[in-house]
């Protein structure tokens, strides 16, 4: 008979992943069915869920002598001094509590121990074993679900780790970054560039975001939330970086589960930004415009814009206001509003496809909504004539007056993490204390899309807090054109293209 040996560290992670997945699904069902869990302090939920974990471990070991994870991975949990005997309920409870509440210490203790026994095993006097597998031989499984479970758990562990620590796939769903990034671009986001953000919402089904695939069911529970923490990054966000972040104004979701947006960072902490006649200024100096930056133009013609002409000159259907329908007739001519770059305008004017191409300002669409920060100062600002607006920086103190309170009220209330904040005249009442000045607790960024007239960005919903940053757009690995059929649908010239 083969010897019983301690399993490798990675196989331990696999079995724990399976058990954790079972437990997370149970917790998500319970907490979503009983919403009061989200209203009690996080520490209470940690205690309640720890108790549920103990019940999980003891129940499975009592009636089956192993947890689902241990069974799928072909492992046995035994008493250390009697390797043929199952642990007692007391030993199981001690083991789970230590593993659950002191998991960083447990991981380190397993790594440094020659027998791969962790702190939880030594204190509970237990040992985790599996059949010895000779080198070069294929692992023997007792049934088919063990083989499938081993393969699936391996894939989940690797994919989850890579997705959390390094690269996350992202798809461009809208034209807000055209023509820098195109609808249908599939890209990787490098999370290590600015520092990987630790999970804030740990109760989440792996490889999901807000919903379970193909359903409208929540894939997470916010009953437990971890404090914000970010690992050191290789660089800081700079002006003109293309950044993926969580949409700040989506208040119904935890920070790390808000919808991912992608924009260009045009303002970093401490900058003062403004837009004058569509030209961006940073700290009083004209910014360098992205080469593919677009604005809407009024394009007049006596004819209808045909599909083959539109495609020939790289005008996507989403570039035309009203989805390829002429906006109105003007003096007997058809008028199209088209998102174009400066280079695109030059080419179209040279070809004489349109009778005339005229500059356009977004306010001509008669959109009367206020822009951020929705203050008296900004009531006459527009997307094309915006600011001046200072971007908050961590550690910087501002003197409060009615103007400053109005401009920064939403930012302080929504993102600074105070228990209670309210504006009282030209001051803030923060956590019950009236203050006449305020020091920002984190950095903020101002994001804009390169397709300036077709981008919902910081001009409309405000600053992006540092804790909402996901990572830097890194590489396009695939690009599909929805207007073409296979194989022309694949934009081969964009595949594996680095993003600058």
Q: Rounded to whole angstroms, how far apart are CA atoms 483 and 121?
A: 59
Work out the average pLDDT over 255-264.
Answer: 95
Work out the average pLDDT over 82-97.
Answer: 92
pLDDT at residue 1 tops 60: no
Q: Report pLDDT digits (tens) over 116-125.
A: 889 999 999 9
482: left (phi > 0), else alpha (psi -120 to 50), else beta? alpha
Q: Report pLDDT digits (tens) over 427-454.
A: 888 988 899 999 999 999 999 999 999 9
- Beta bridge pairs of residue 485: none
Work out the average pLDDT over 12-39.
Answer: 87
Percent of the chain with pLDDT over 70: 97
Q: Which of 99, 258, 263, 296 is catalytic?
A: 263
263 labelled catalytic: yes
CB 446 within 8 A of CB 371: no
Percent of the chain with pLDDT over 90: 53
Choose the most confident range, by mean pLDDT, from 169-178, 354-363, 385-394.
385-394
CB 168 within 8 A of CB 46: no
CB 232 within 8 A of CB 196: no
Work out the average pLDDT over 154-166.
Answer: 86
Higher-confidence position of 311 and 295: 295
In the chain, what is the straight-line distance between the N-terminal and C-terminal CA atoms, in Å? 59
Q: What is the mean pLDDT of the chain?
A: 89
| Residue 396 confidence (pLDDT) | 97
Q: Which of 6, 109, 153, 176 is catalytic?
A: 176
pLDDT at residue 214 tops 90: no
Q: Report pLDDT digits (tens) over 315-373.
A: 888 899 875 455 555 566 788 899 999 999 999 999 888 989 999 988 887 666 789 99
Compute CA distances 417 → 118, 220, 263, 430, 440, whole Å: 37, 22, 25, 11, 11
Is 10 buried (19+), middle (13-18) or exposed (0-12) by CB count in 10 A? exposed
Task: Collapse the DSSP code of 127 into the 3-class scheme (helix H, G, I; strand E, B; otherwise coil) and give the result.
Answer: strand
pTM: 0.88
């Amino acid at each position: 008979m083969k010897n019983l040996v301690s399993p490798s560290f990675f196989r331990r992670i696999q079995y724990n992943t399976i058990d954790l997945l079972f437990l997370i699904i149970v917790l998500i069902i319970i907490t979503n069915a009983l919403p009061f869990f989200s209203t009690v302090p996080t520490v209470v939920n940690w205690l309640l869920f720890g108790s549920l974990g103990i019940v999980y471990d003891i129940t499975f070991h009592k009636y089956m002598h192993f947890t689902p994870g241990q069974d799928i991975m072909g492992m046995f949990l035994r008493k250390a001094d009697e390797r043929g005997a199952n642990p007692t309920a007391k030993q199981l409870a001690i083991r789970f509590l230590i593993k659950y509440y002191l998991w960083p210490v447990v991981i380190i203790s397993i790594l440094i121990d020659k027998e791969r026994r962790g702190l939880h095993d030594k204190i509970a006097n237990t040992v985790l074993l599996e059949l010895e597998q000779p080198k070069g031989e294929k692992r023997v499984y007792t049934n088919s679900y063990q083989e499938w479970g081993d393969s699936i758990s391996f894939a989940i562990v690797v994919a989850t780790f890579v997705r959390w620590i390094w690269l996350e796939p992202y798809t461009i769903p809208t034209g807000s970054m055209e023509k820098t990034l195109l609808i249908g671009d599939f890209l990787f986001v490098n999370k290590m560039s600015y520092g990987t953000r630790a999970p804030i919402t740990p109760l989440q089904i792996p490889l999901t975001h807000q919903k379970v695939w193909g359903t409208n069911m929540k894939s997470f529970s916010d009953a437990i939330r971890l404090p914000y923490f970010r690992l050191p990054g290789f660089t800081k966000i700079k002006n003109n970086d293309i950044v993926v972040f969580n949409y700040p104004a989506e208040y119904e979701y935890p920070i790390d589960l808000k919808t991912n947006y992608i924009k260009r960072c045009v303002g970093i902490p401490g900058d003062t930004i403004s837009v004058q006649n569509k030209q961006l200024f940073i700290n009083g100096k004209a910014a360098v415009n992205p080469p593919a930056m677009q604005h809407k133009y009024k394009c007049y013609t006596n004819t209808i814009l045909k599909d083959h002409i539109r495609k020939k000159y790289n005008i996507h259907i989403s570039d035309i206001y009203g989805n390829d329908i002429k906006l109105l007739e003007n003096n007997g001519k058809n008028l199209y509003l088209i998102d174009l770059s400066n280079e695109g305008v030059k080419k179209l004017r040279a070809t004489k496809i349109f009778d005339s191409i005229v500059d356009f300002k977004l306010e001509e669409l008669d959109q009367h909504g206020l822009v951020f920060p929705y203050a008296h100062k900004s009531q006459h600002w527009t997307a094309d004539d915006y600011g001046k607006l200072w971007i908050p920086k961590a550690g910087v103190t501002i003197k409060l007056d009615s103007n400053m309170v109005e401009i920064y009220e939403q930012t302080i209330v929504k993102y600074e993490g105070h228990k209670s904040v309210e504006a009282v005249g030209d001051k803030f009442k923060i956590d019950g204390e009236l203050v006449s000045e305020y020091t920002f607790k984190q950095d903020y960024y101002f994001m804009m899309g390169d397709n300036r007239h077709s981008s919902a960005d910081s001009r409309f919903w405000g600053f992006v807090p540092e804790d909402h940053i996901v990572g830097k757009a890194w590489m396009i690995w695939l690009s599909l054109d929805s207007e073409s059929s296979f194989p022309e649908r694949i934009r081969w010239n964009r595949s594996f293209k680095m993003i600058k």
